[in-house]
Amino acid sequence: MTGRDGLLLLLCFLLGSVPFAYLITRLRGVGDIRTLGSGNVGATNVLRTQGKVWGLVTLALDFGKAALAVWLCRRFGSAPWLDAAGGACAVLGHCFPPWLRFRGGKGVASGLGAFTFIAPIPTLIALGVFMLEVMTLRFISLGSILAAVAFAVSIAAFHFYSGLYTPPHVLIAVLLCLLLIQRHHANIGRLLAGTEKRIWGQKKEAEP
């Protein structure tokens, strides 16, 4: 790993730290996303508080910044595993942006953006698990957690049985999945308590 590689990883972190959910909400004059809905600086909270269109725009931008980080590391990096490290740095930047006092999102969209191009087959498996859960139980948080587990198991299985992915790629991917699960600790508590909100199909509270 060279000094240029280190600068690339720093750039990837800064790319990931761009808080699109915060910026979009501010530019639209809605307020501070951290004071709306769940308070999370991510696409799901934008979706809940500002509708599908802006939620999808935020998702695409969070996806894109991590994908760009991976491309930069592949184009200019020297280490073969630097693409995974760059994607991981982008996710870390998203989760802990210095501009927002290190209070960022949960890393789902940015993680998807990074590993779609690094490990497409495990990513597709994880996405399938996510979609299945969301279409049945309708919990974004639970779907994200189950998808993270499915991804970690899949990429490890492909490594051990086919050698398709290198050990550094697997290690970085598994650590990121553990981070994603940890970032959902509050959601896990609400899921266990039966108070977690579903993404749709909820009954509106009666008017007083």
Distance CA 146, CA 141 (A): 9
> Which structure tokens are listed for 157?
């299985």
Per-residue pLDDT reduced to its tens digit, 187-203: 999 999 999 988 865 44
Distance CA 137, CA 155 (A): 25
Per the listing, tokens 């650590």 go with: 175
Across the chain, what does the average pLDDT equal? 92
* pLDDT score, position 167: 94
Quickly state the pLDDT bin for 98 (edges 50, 70, 90): very high
Distance CA 101, CA 23 (A): 15
Mean pLDDT of 153-175: 92
pLDDT higher than threshold 60 for residue 207? no
Mean pLDDT of 94-118: 94
Distance CA 168, CA 174 (A): 10
* pLDDT score, position 201: 54
Q: Is-above-0.75 flag for pTM?
A: yes
Per-residue pLDDT reduced to its tens digit, 14-66: 999 999 999 999 999 999 999 999 899 999 999 989 999 999 999 999 999 99
Q: Per-domain residue ranges for the chain?
A: 3-193
End-to-end CA distance of the chain: 63
What distances in angstroms separate CA 25 from CA 44, 56, 181, one per listed residue?
Answer: 13, 13, 26
